[in-house]
Amino acid sequence: MEKLPAGKCSQELWFGILISFAMCFVFLCFDFSTFWGVNNEANLLVTKTVDAIGILNFNQTRDSCSDRYIYIHEGLPSRFNYDFLNNCESLSAGTSISNIPCMCPHLVNLGLGPEINSSEGVLSNKSWFKTNPYLLEVIFHNRMKNYECLTKNFTLASAIYVPFYPSMDVGVHLWDSNLTIRDSSAKHFAKWLSGQPEWSKMWGRDHFFASGRIAWDFRRERDDSSAWGSKLRFLPESMNMTMLTLEGSRWKNDIAIPYPTNFHPAKDSEVVQWQNRVREQERPYLFTFAGAPRPNQNGSIRGKLIDHCQASTKCKFLHCTEKICGNPVTVMRVFQSSVYCLQPEGDSYTRRSAFDAFLAGCIPVFFHPATAYTQYLWYLPKDHTKYSVFIPVRDVKDLKEGQIENVLLGISKDQEVAMREEVIKLIPKLVYADPRSRLETQDAFDIAVQGILERIENVRTVIREGRDPSVGFADEDNGKFKFPETVDS
């Protein structure tokens, strides 16, 4: 083999070293962030800085959105959401306390409803609206559009949000005696969604959506035209998803989040100002009940509550009609003037009035555990005695004459003040901020998203450990709507 001259070998060696150094320098100058995807969608971000003597430094920092990315299923056909908004004149407002026959006026301000311009000194000057609670799904969707950790790549997402409007969808045919028609849209929705590539990632267990109706409206257990609701939540595909709803069912994939109230702050300072306002409010009435009797509802205690209230000089009764309780100013004026607000069951276990009471700094009085305690687990303290009074009433006859007033009078002033302070501290996490803004503190939307992400991560852990992810995901909790064997009164 021919040997190269020593000088030539040396020249080639140094030339190779020079080329390698140049390539390394170019590589180091390259923007590493391109390796980490669009919108910082990775666990680590690489940034470049130059120090005082001109040395290039690289710093790795944790991505603030790591494990928090959410993908919005924008491909959902418009017949499942936007078509309802575009044809709102055909939709009922869906609430007995609304004197507006169709949904259109309620949809302004991104679903918050018309702004309240004259509060008669009862409300703060800004961020109050006439909000229809059935529009939770619209409000939630508009908040999600401004969520800080969105991704357009579903493979990077920790959760997949489906902008489905189930309460509008079911409301079109909810009273139809033809079950095929009543269930048709739900079946089309489930079939379309399960056929998308996003579905196969976790077979729907990373999918979630919000509803402005209670879960029971989607849980028809019998194929009988006299039975209420659609069977959306019993469809196999739907059972793999989580629904955020105003009131949960027995099934663990129906999760209750707060009813929207009429306060939608745009700034953190507005929340603090409101808290200070209700903290300093004079409260001449010991207790208040705002509502109407339910003479056709077997087992309702409302009639007795009205009797107890009207028989007491310490109680204020607000008889709800469409005009009276459809006005937030009227309701909040009464609640702000009361120490305690009675919150019996409504047409279902829960009622929006409970959240109006929280907002007014009025200590809620509950009579059934499913009105709050077994529902809003992501929002309310486990120890319900910190923020509420519980008077267990298993049957109407259990409510004795004068019992409510006697129980409330037996609470010490110190305990009352402590409970009210706890109620006021809860206000920020029970309201939905204006979708056009972003608060520094967590609101009801933020807590719902955090809960969803944690729930889905738990499912991933189960899958990684080789266990069946269906176990516990949508199981029944038959004790949720029962009185415990022992209760604290």
Judge if 225 and 361 occupy the same domain: no
Cα distance between residue 21 and residue 489, in whole Å:
78
Q: How far is CA 46 from CA 21, 29, 60, 125, 403, in A?
A: 22, 12, 5, 45, 66
Beta pairing, strands 159-161 & 70-72 = parallel
274 and 248, same structural domain?
no
Residue 195 inside a domain? The answer is yes
Model confidence pLDDT, tens digit, residues 151-209 = 999 999 999 999 999 999 999 998 899 999 999 999 999 999 999 999 999 999 999 99
CA distance 353 to 290: 8
Residue 187 belongs to a domain: yes
Structural domains counted in the chain: 2
Residue 38 included in any domain: no
Q: What is the pLDDT of residue 42?
A: 44
Domain identity same for 279 and 251:
no
Is 60 part of a structural domain of the chain?
A: no
Residues 228 and 283 in one domain: no
Task: Give the model's confidence band at 98: pLDDT under 50 very low, under 70 low, under 90 confident, else very high.
Answer: very low
CB 83 within 8 A of CB 91: no
| Claim to verify: residue 200 and residue 94 sit in the same structural domain | yes
Tell me if 171 is assigned to some domain: yes
CA distance 350 to 331: 17
The residue with greater pLDDT, 58 or 379, is: 379
Note whether 223 and 357 are same-domain residues: no
pLDDT of residue 94: 58
Q: Do residues 235 and 313 share a domain?
A: no
Q: Specify the range with the lowest mean pLDDT, choosing from 122-136, 284-298, 410-424.
A: 284-298
Give yes or no: residues 212 and 123 share one domain: yes
Q: Is the pLDDT of residue 457 over 70?
A: yes
Q: Do residues 167 and 231 both lie within one domain?
A: yes
Q: What would the pLDDT profile of 268-300 be if each residue is shown by its tens digit?
A: 999 999 999 999 999 999 999 999 888 777 778
Domain that holds residue 329: 269-429
- In this structure, the answer to whether residues 118 and 241 fall within a common structural domain is yes
CA distance 46 to 36: 8
What value does the mean pLDDT take over residues 136-149? 98
User: Is 289 found in the same domain as 163?
Assistant: no
* DSSP secondary structure string for all residues of 347-382: SSS--THHHHHHHTTPEEEESSGGGTTTT-TTTS-S
Asked, for residue 222, whether it belongs to a domain, the answer is yes
Residue 46 φ/ψ region, left for φ over 0, alpha for ψ in the -120 to 50 degree band, beta for the rest: beta
pLDDT in tens, 311-320: 999 999 999 9
Span 458-482, pLDDT tens digits: 999 999 999 999 999 999 998 899 8
Same domain assignment for residues 195 and 247: yes
Q: Which has more pLDDT, 134 or 412?
A: 412
Whether residue 329 lies inside any domain: the answer is yes
- What single letter denotes the amino acid at residue 411? I
Q: Name the residue among 188, 194, 254 with its Cα closest to residue 218.
A: 254
* Residue 188 φ then ψ, to 5°: -65, -40
Average pLDDT, the chain: 88
How distant, in Å, are the alpha carbons of 17, 30, 35, 198 from that of 24? 11, 10, 17, 40
